[in-house]
A and B are shown apart, each in its own frame.
Chain A
Amino acid sequence: MSRTLRLGVLTLLVILGFALSLAAGKQWLPWGSDAATAIFVELRLPRALLGLLLGALLGLNGAVLQGFLRNPLADPAVVGVSSCAAFGAVAAILYAGASSLGVFAAAMVAALGAMALLVALTWRNADAVTFVLAGTILSSLAGALTAFLIAIAPNPYAVAGVIDWLMGALTDRGLADLARAAPFLIGGGVALARVGPALDALTLGEDAARSLGVRIGRVQALVVLGTGLGVGAGVAATGVIGFVGLIVPHVLRPLFGHRPSALLLPSALGGAALVLIADSLCRLAPGAGEIRLGVAMAMIGAPFFLGLLLRRRARAWI
């Protein structure tokens, strides 16, 4: 099967996922009445579009980070952006009243602040190990601060809201959420998509890549900017949805080859399809409410990690 055909299949999956996301719910395929049209236009459509953009960004970001760090286990969590954005959002929910614009802005500021810190920590020493170490520090710090904020929270009801929010979901996201997040998701995606050829050169190591004219500092700046904008906006709009960036490039690598730039477009499509389909299935689960998408992804992701571990033991390349 050629690359074009495989891309076609992935695109078809995205279209199916999008259609499913529009149609699926407690009210199956609303159409006809005024109320149904309102559900369709004001709830289902923005939710599906947000899922499409967010999934594509998360898949692309995972592929870029794995290529940049030359580490098959890298994902947005590794550079600390998700936890820092979550910390910003939690601070806003607990202490600044939980207007959705306020939460979004706080999460975005925290994500970009974290990325600025990451750049400062890795300045003039842009190798992969330093980068991961700095990201781990940021991630742990943000996690600890978030727990601290929750512990000293004045309002127990707000804490319940925070816990709910930390496990991200696309539930009830409307046009306003989409309009706020979309420019950042798209801008982040464009920054990330530009580094493809540089990631290919980095497979030979940093010295060889530099000898091929790759400016590592510029590549790092694009990766950090794209991750901060894209993943930051994703967390700001929906909460933390993990594992997409880790799983998708792995599933696609055997189908599209190991070359990092050849994985970027497939990973974006695969991420979109995964989030759209998973979000639709969350809605169809029995019971009065929905399963949180973040919970569902973690339930898929943890066994996937185990599978990776077992395969890694079995052969050199995963």
Chain B
Amino acid sequence: MDLIARHLSVTLGQRTVLTHVDVTLRPGRVTVILGPNGAGKSSLLKALAGLIVPATGSVLLAGQGVATLPDRERARRVGYLPQDAAVHWNVTAREVVALGRVPYRTPFAGPSPEDHARIEAALIATETVALAERGIADLSGGERARVLLARVLAGRPDWLLADEPLASLDPAHQIDILDRLRGVAQAGSGVVLVLHDLAQAARIADDVLLLQHGRVIAAGETAGVLTPEHVAAVFDVRVATLPGSAMMVPIGRIAR
């Protein structure tokens, strides 16, 4: 089931943050949205998740408008991991993961056997079983990131959209989270990430979507999009590429 943005424009208050975005995202692949600060990356991700009603155009999932799907139906299909990793009460890690099953719960009823099984599977997949009974506030940043990822996995969404899932993680935990997201894509779900680290983007992305000033500059397979020329045009930086890989490192600023 492709996730398709068609002539998508988004305004927040008076400000237009996305203009005529046309893009087709495919399941089973990791798509990374890249762009400088203020390019509209987070807004695009929220619009793809059906959390922002577009000013014009639409986001289609299997031919249906995401923003007009019934809320529970949308929640079952599209998982969204916000950039804000704050959890407002010191609930246990297991309780956080259980929230991934909210779209399947009914009021006044406890979790079903399937809910329990999915929660357990998500804890195992993120290696957080040992943390399950600890308070979320008592975990380290890396542990918390894994628990929050497990929360989305517990819902088994067709699409997993994550906004800066690597923010505030050290390199080892960044690679750890990326590997797990890669696993989600290999299992058949679509994975869409907002990242700002070019090297990590090059490492994980099958497809890249380059945004600048709310417009798509380039989109497609990583090798074709993440070129030094494109990066220079969008980020105003010179990059060095590592021989034999798509990895690139910014090495200097281009004056305009």
Bound together, the chains give a CA A212 to CA B157 distance in angstroms of 11
Q: How far is the CA of A213 from the CA of B108 in the complex (A)?
A: 17
Q: Is the CB of B49 within 8 A of A317?
A: no
Looking at the complex, which one of B72, B91, B137 makes contact with A257 (CB distance below 8 Å)? Answer: B91
- B33, chain A: closest CB distance, angstroms: 16
Within 8 A of A (CB), among B81-95: 81-82, 84, 86-92, 95
**Among A41-49, A144-152, A196-204, A293-301, the stretch in contact with B:** A196-204
- B39 nearest CB across to chain A (Å): 19
- How far is A10 from B36 in the complex, measured between Cα atoms in Å? 55
| Chain B nearest CB, measured from A246 CB (Å) | 16
Query: Are B151 and A204 within 8 A (Cβ)?
Result: yes
Q: A194-B107, A258-B90 are in contact. Are A213 and B99 (CB under 8 A)?
A: no
Question: Smallest CB-CB separation from A194: which chain B residue?
Answer: B107
Interface status of B102 (Cβ within 8 A of chain A) = yes
Q: Which residues of B in the span 177-217 have a Cβ within 8 Å of any Cβ on A?
A: none
Q: State whether A259 and B102 are in contact (beta carbons under 8 Å apart), knowing that A70-B88, A205-B86, A208-B82 are contacts in the complex.
A: no
A316 contacts the other chain (Cβ, under 8 Å)? yes
Q: A215 in the interface, Cβ–Cβ < 8 Å?
A: yes
When distances are taken between beta carbons in the complex, the residues of chain A under 8 Å from B72 are 213
How far is it, in angstroms, between the C-alpha of A212 and the C-alpha of B81 when the chains are bound?
Answer: 10
Whether the Cβ atoms of A205 and B75 lie closer than 8 Å is no
Tell me if B74 is interfacial: C-beta within 8 Å of chain A.
yes
With A203-B87, A207-B46 known as contacts, the answer to whether A257 contacts B75 (CB < 8 A) is no
| Residues A213 and B74 in contact, CB atoms below 8 Å apart | yes
Min distance, Cβ B44 to any Cβ of chain A, angstroms: 14
User: Is the C-beta of A266 less than 8 angstroms from some C-beta in chain B?
Assistant: no
Q: Which residues of B contact A211 (CB under 8 A)?
A: 49-51, 75, 78-80, 82
A212's partner among B46, B91, B95, B99 (CB-CB below 8 A) is: B99
Interchain nearest-CB distance for A124 vs B (Å): 12
A200 close to B99 (CB less than 8 A): yes
**Closest partner residue, chain A, to B102 (CB atom):** A212
Q: Contacts of A196 on B, CB cut-off 8 Å?
A: 107-108
CB pair A259 B74 closer than 8 Å: no
A126 touches B (CB below 8 Å) = no
Check: B134 CB closer than 8 A to any chain A CB.
no
- B192: shortest Cβ distance to chain A, in Å? 13
On whether the beta carbons of A215 and B46 are closer than 8 Å, the reply is no
Contact for A207 among B71, B82, B100, B105, CB less than 8 A: B82
Q: How far is the CB of A126 from chain B (nearest CB, A)?
A: 14
> Quick check: is B224 within 8 A (CB to CB) of the other chain?
no
Do residues A207 and B80 form an inter-chain contact, with CB atoms below 8 A? yes
**Inter-subunit contact A197/B102 (CB<8 Å):** yes
Cα A202 to Cα B91 with chains together (Å)? 12
A251 to chain B, nearest CB (A): 16
Judge if B38 is at the interface, Cβ distance under 8 Å: no
Asked whether A203 and B51 contact (CB < 8 A) given A208-B82, A213-B71, A213-B103, the answer is no
- Would A205 and B102 count as touching, CB distance under 8 A? no
Q: Which residues from B are CB-within-8-Å of A59?
A: none
**Contact between B102 and A213 (Cβ–Cβ < 8 Å)?**
yes
Instruction: Name the residue of chain A whose CB is nearest to the CB of B155.
Output: A212
Q: Is A311 an interface residue (CB 8 A)?
A: no
A26 within 8 Å of B (CB atoms): no
Q: Is the CB of A214 within 8 A of B80?
A: no
**Known contacts A200-B102, A207-B80, A212-B99, then 11 further A-B pairs from the complex at CB < 8 Å, ordered by chain A residue:** A201-B102, A203-B91, A204-B82, A207-B51, A207-B82, A207-B84, A211-B49, A211-B82, A213-B71, A213-B74, A215-B71
Q: Give chain A's interface residues, CB within 8 Å of chain B.
A: 67, 70, 193-194, 196-197, 200-205, 207-208, 210-215, 257-260, 316-317
